Amino acid sequence: MLQGIETPALLIDKPKLEANAARMKARADALGVVLRPHVKTLKSVEAAAIYAPVGSRITVSTLREAEVFAKAGYTDIFYAVGITPNKLERAAQLVKKGADLTLLVDTVEAAQAVSDASNKFGVPLSAMIEIDVDGHRAGLVWDSETLLPIAEALTASGRLRGVATHAGGSYNGKSLDDIADIAERERAMTVKAGERLREAGYEVRDVSVGSTPTALMARDHRGVTELRAGVYATFDLVMAGLGLCSKDDIAMSVLTSVIGHQPDKGWVLVDAGWMAMSRDRGTASQTVDQAYGLVCDVYGKPMPDYIVSMVNQEHGIITRRDKGAIKKSDFPYGSQWRILPNHACATAAQFDRYCVLDADQNQCGDWSRVNAW
């Protein structure tokens, strides 16, 4: 089945990816909003054909993604990371080539830089204002005194598209009800920001919210125009730990091979270290800590007693969760296993290609990935 694949390799279960994509699309439809998928997890045009076919609005995390996806026929692109002056010429070139690119700002200085670049490069650049709904990262609160000055600076020569937020704090939700409450705060605060701008005379095309947890748990999206989410396409152990999916829904795994044993320590050594799995320990604060990944058999069936408990650059160490002994015969030299990742985005970033599997777990494709910035 997978014996001919050199390890470590990143595997994508296509039927699971398709099911996850259909689930989020149905969710957006039920909420009455446009889905703008974030392509940053897989950063693959081939993969996006499943959850964001050409013609869809998309979200990107790098200008490199924007360039590659624009070349593939995507036009409505939101670059959802605060823009810096040294990227504005590149952004302007994308717009000149036909991309409907939207940038992100949260300061007067950034908004002024966008307006200045619009003049300098002879093309009006558009931007959203980032709203902070949970103190998680960037943005400004909806009632900030800076909101209107940002809009004024931006519209001097650029274009205001609206407001956007990311409720990253939802990844620390204590329960599904807690995540639903976070989703409501996300909606309400972002809508209020948009209303303030409209009342001041500014046009607000989009009120954009999103994270996979809040997208799946939102009770309603009154006043919201679009929903952004990304990791739902593959899910991962963090999402499973939050109760948003089951382990069987996770469409990504790392194929690895046994390279040795340390019986006295209860270790099985495999060729997937942190260069394959990443160092992300996103489940460490959850009820069940999956260390660096949950071990599955070669068919993808989870083995709850076994985790990758330690990693070096190219070595992964499988142990029993209870630290008990492991029989060498249970993990023979050269045997293949699959590891479910904590954070799909971080693990996918370690690879430049993905091996795609069909429903029978046979290879049915080979997808490329966009790296760099």
pLDDT digits (tens, 9 = 90+) for 167-193: 999 999 999 999 999 999 999 999 999
Nearest to 138 by CA among 179, 98, 116, 169: 169
As a CATH number, domain 15-234 is 3.20.20.10
Domain ranges of the chain: 15-234, 244-368
pTM above 0.85, yes or no: yes
Q: What is the pLDDT of residues 82-103, one digit of tens each?
A: 999 999 999 999 999 999 999 9
Say whether pLDDT at 44 is over 80. yes
Q: Is 108 exposed, middle or buried (0-12, 13-18, 19+ CB in 10 A)?
A: middle
CA atoms within 13 A on the CB side of 260: 7
Tokens 């960037």 belong to 138
Q: Is 149 exposed, middle or buried (0-12, 13-18, 19+ CB in 10 A)?
A: middle
pLDDT of residue 61: 98
Quote the CA–CA distance of 210 and 213 in Å, as a whole number: 8
pLDDT of residue 322: 96
Examine domains 15-234 and 244-368 and report if their fold is the same. no
Domain 244-368 class, CATH top level: mainly beta
Joined tokens for residue 103: 């940038």
pLDDT of residue 338: 98
Give me the residues paired with residue 209 across strands: 227
Nearest to 40 by CA among 178, 166, 207: 166
